[in-house]
Structure formats: C-alpha cells, structure tokens
Structure 1
Amino acid sequence: MSLVTYELDDHVATITLNRPEAGNAINGALREELNAAWDRFRDDEDAWVGVLASTGRVFCAGADLKDGEGAVGTFGGTFWEKPTINSFESGMELFKPTIAAVQGPCIGYGLTGILFCDFVIASTEASFAFPEVSIGVPTIVGAIRLPQRIRWADAMELLLTGRPMTAERAKEVGLVWKLVEPADLAAAARECAHTLTRAAPLAQRATKEVAWRTADMGWIESVRFGEVMRKVAGATEDVAEGITAWREKRRPDWKAR
C-alpha cells in the first residue's frame, strides 16, 4: 500500500497522506514518498495546481517518534530533527499554486507542511499544534515560517505554548483561509483548485515567484526582477492565446507553454 498517493485530474494533482492507522504520522517511508510526490508535482507539466490532503480522522499526527528515519531521530540521547533539503515543507522552490485540505488534528510536521501551501482550507473539526516545546524540543522550520504568515503573538501562541489551536481560532488569526463543515472539505478544495486552473498557469507561477523572491528585496530590485519575469512570461504561447481569447470573447485554452 502506498503511504502517499498521487492523483491527477483536470490539471489538479491531489497528494494524499495515506497512513491512517498511525494518524498519518511521518515515518521514514512516508517522508520519502511525500518528497517524491512533491517532486513529481513540480516536474509534471500537466499538473497546474496541487492539493495536499489525507485519509482518516487525523490530518497528520506529526513526526513518528518511533522511527529514526522519519522527521525526528536521536543524537546523544536527545531528540534532533533531520534537515530535509529542498523538501516541500522546508522551502522547495515550487511556484505552482497549492492548497491544503485539513481535517482533524494537524500537528508538528503536518502543520509545517501546510504553512507552505498558498491556501489552507480546514474543516470545523480541525486543530493545529506545534507540541515540540512540551517535550523539550525546539520547533525550527515552523518557527521560521509561521511568523511570516500570521501576527507575531499569534505565532508565538502556537510555537511557545505547545497547546493546540482550534479551527475557529486558526481562522481568526489568519492561519486558515476558509473554514467549512467536515462533509464539505473535499468539495471546497476541488472548487478552489478548479478556479485556479482557469487562469494562465505560467502567469500564475511567475506572479507567485515574484511575490516569493521579492519579500527579501529592496523596492528597486523587486521592480526590476518583476519586469524581467513579465518579459519571460510575455514570450509564452499562453500570452498570445489569452489576448486572442479576450478579443474573441471566449475562455482561453491554456497550454502551459
């Protein structure tokens, strides 16, 4: 049985954590399959939008502490987190739109993963936690990423207390973009994904890359980089198709080239 499944339908790739008997806890095998799935999505020319989902009642129980080849191992009798270079949750350069569909508890590694999604849609039964400090372990990648998404004190509420945050509170602080009833979660994620596929995929990626890279640039450098990206995108076939479709008052037929 695959611990992570990859399904492509109408330009939407759904990557699903599939270890429900263990609460989708990240062991070494699941981590390897998850990284491979994100690599596949990045390189799949027919995949324009990605959805991160899970099976079972728990979105992700965090790292499997029983598996030294998972997200957490041991060193000198204490816990340490193995760095995963270029994995999705650690900052892979991936500019395709991504959506997280979260039901149930989303803990540790799982919460770090959804922080790299552009849209977080959660069920009213979801909850979010970085419990590492409660067992004496610092949160690293989550501590880097979370304050970039929400206000400082709200981020510290999760990072420094180790206590879970309800879905309603997560929506209030901006961690969750949209809150839905559990039965509506999959449909809401699909609707968001299909809305995204109506826009030009290469233009989306250029726009997201500009937003990502210019966060640490000065104004002049940002504008110059943006104009370079505009020229790169302007040379694509999709730009010509978009203009033609506008003139002909029809929906564009994007090719992602």
Structure 2
Amino acid sequence: MFAEIKTHGASGTITLNDAERGNCLNAMGLLQFQQALEDLRQEKSIRGIIITGSGNYFSTGTDLLALSQQMESDPLDRNNSDLEILVEVLLAMIRYPKPIVSALNGPALGNGAALALAADIVIGCNATSIGFPEVARGLVASFGAVMLRMRLGRSTIAPMLLTGESLNAKQSCELGLVQEVVDSDLTWARSHEIIEAMNDTSPQAAQLTRKVLYETLSNSIEADLRSACGTAATARFTLSSREGISAFVEKRKPDWDDAYSSE
C-alpha cells in the first residue's frame, strides 16, 4: 500500500510508502493517497493530518521510470491520468476541513514538493530540501509554480523553476516554505505536537479559519491547477522531454541541442 495510514491521539498520519523508489508518484499511488485523505476526514477523533515519507525521501515526484517505459512502449500514448489525479489531490488538500502538516523527512522534489506545499504547515529537518528539477528533465514544473505562488513572489520563484536547483532546509525556512527545522528523527513528533495543541481549540473554528485562509484562492486555484495540468501534459510529449527523461533513466547528460533542433 503506497499510502499507509496510522492514527495516534489527535493526529492521523499518511506515510508515502515506497522507500525503494523514493516515494515517487504515479496514478495508483495518488488514488490511494486520495482515499487515505477521505478515510481520515471521516474520523471525528482526528484533528489534523500529517503527511510524511518512508526512507530517505519525502517524495522524488513523478515516476519517471514508468513514464519512460510508457513512452517507449507506445509513443502515441497520452495517458496523463497521474496529472489529472494530482489536480484532484491538491484541491482536496487545499479544501480539506482539517489542518494538514507536511513532515519532510528528506528531499521533496517536483510534484512531490507540490504535494508537500499544499499543506498548511511544513516541518523540515537537516536532510530536507525542496526543489523542482523538471526543467532539467525537459519537463515543466507547472504544479510547482502554482503551489509556490501561494507562498512566494515571482522574483523568488523564477530562479527555482528555471534552474531546477533545490533549496536546503535553512534556505527553505528563511523563505517561509518551511516553518520549522528540527532534528531528523523529530519531524513527525514535532508535527504531532502541533496537532495535539489543537485539542484545546474548536474544530469548527479551525475549519472556518482554514476556509478564510484559502477562500480567496478557491476560485482561481482550481483553474490554475487545471491549466498547470494541461501545460505539464503538453511538455511530456516534446522531443526535449523524451531526451531529458531518457537521460535521467540512463544516468547520462541530456543532449539538448539535438532535441531542440529536431523540434
């Protein structure tokens, strides 16, 4: 099971559970994650949700190996179900009635970082980094752009998306992407503390507070995410993306000149 649920006190934890592959995201895993959110939403004793990863990564983002295999087996196959499901997952998180905390046990990359930033609060550790390396794979960090715009301005976002370079925990905290940095073995514990502190608050008031925080975004965020989905899907079927993904899988440097001249 990719999305493993555990409850403890007032918190419900969803662990991305594919450590061997860096907790990468595919359609099936995202559907399981979406169902886990729904299951915990119905638990009245759960005041907040913690999202974390197993192993050394929070999530490395899109399953590029599966995408590469899909492209090789059928170059005309334009199945982008994972992108479409990700739109629904991000909207579900933004509109969720309970607070969500991302406990970043390690790097959060690409769409994995977009998932992390859909939370209300992000707790990191020294092993945490946040990055959008899509441009280095011939892809577009369109979901990352939308989620970053909820927190930062264009001049701060542009270097991240155009260079593909990651921010370390300290840099992420200074920019406000991460609210606290704790020891590596304390990310979940600190996240749980935050949710336990909500036991003294009104669940209804917390839900309405979340609504106030995001209601100004709600009308535009869905359109923005659906537009991002379209852009990401288009980028997947360029020669540049085929070269970038192949280079990643083959662990070599991409030949952009050849891909660009053939477009």
TM-score normalised to structure 1 length: 0.75
Structure 1 stretch displaced more, 75-84 or 5-14:
75-84
Partner of 1:151: 153
| Structure 1, unpaired ranges of 5+ | 218-257
Looking at structure 2, the residues matched to 45 and 122 of structure 1 have their Cα atoms a distance apart, in angstroms, of 27
Larger relative contact order (CA 8 Å, sep ≥ 6)? 2
Cα contact 1:90–1:141 (8 A) shared by 2: no
SS, match of residue 133 in structure 1:
helix
Q: For structure 1, which segment, 30-39 or 17-26, has the greater mean C-alpha deviation from structure 2 after superposition?
A: 30-39
**TM-aligned CA deviation for residue 117 of structure 1:** 0.5
- Aligned AA for 1:196? M
Q: How does 1:152-191 map to 2 (within 5 A)?
A: 152-191=154-193
Deviates more, 1:111-120 or 1:83-92: 83-92
Identical positions, percent: 26
Distance 1:103 1:85, change over 3 A: closer
Q: CA deviation at 1:196?
A: 2.0
Q: Counterpart of 2:55 in structure 1: which amino acid?
A: G
Map of 1:23-62 to 2, 5 A cutoff? Answer: 23-62=22-61
1:22-171 pair list within 5 angstroms: 22-68=21-67, 76=76, 82-84=83-85, 87-92=88-93, 93-171=95-173
SS of aligned partner of 2:89: coil
Change (3 A) 1:191 1:34: same
| Structure-2 separation of matches of 1:145 and 1:195 | 27
CA contact (8 A) 1:102 1:120 kept: yes
Structure 2 unaligned runs (5+)?
Answer: 220-263
Distance 1:216 1:117, change over 3 A: closer
Question: Out of 198, 215, 224, which is 1:196 matched to?
Answer: 198
Instruction: Tell me if the contact between 1:91 and 1:116 (Cα under 8 Å) persists in the aligned partners.
Output: no
Distance 2:60 2:157 in 1: 20
Aligned residues: 214
Shift of 1:47: 2.0
Greater radius of gyration (CA): 1
Q: Distance in 2 between matches of 1:176 and 1:185?
A: 12
Greater per-residue helix proportion: 2
Stretches of 4+ moved more than 4 A in 1? 72-81
Q: Is the 8 A contact 1:79 1:137 kept in 2?
A: no
* Kept after mapping to 2: 8 A contact 1:101/1:186: yes
Normalized per residue, which structure has more strand?
Answer: 1
Question: Any conservation in 1 of the 2:15–2:53 contact (CA below 8 Å)?
Answer: yes
- Is the 1:88–1:116 Cα contact (8 Å) retained in structure 2? no
Provide the secondary structure at the position in 2 that maps to 1:50.
Answer: strand
Counterpart CA distance in 2 for 1:75 and 1:120 is 38
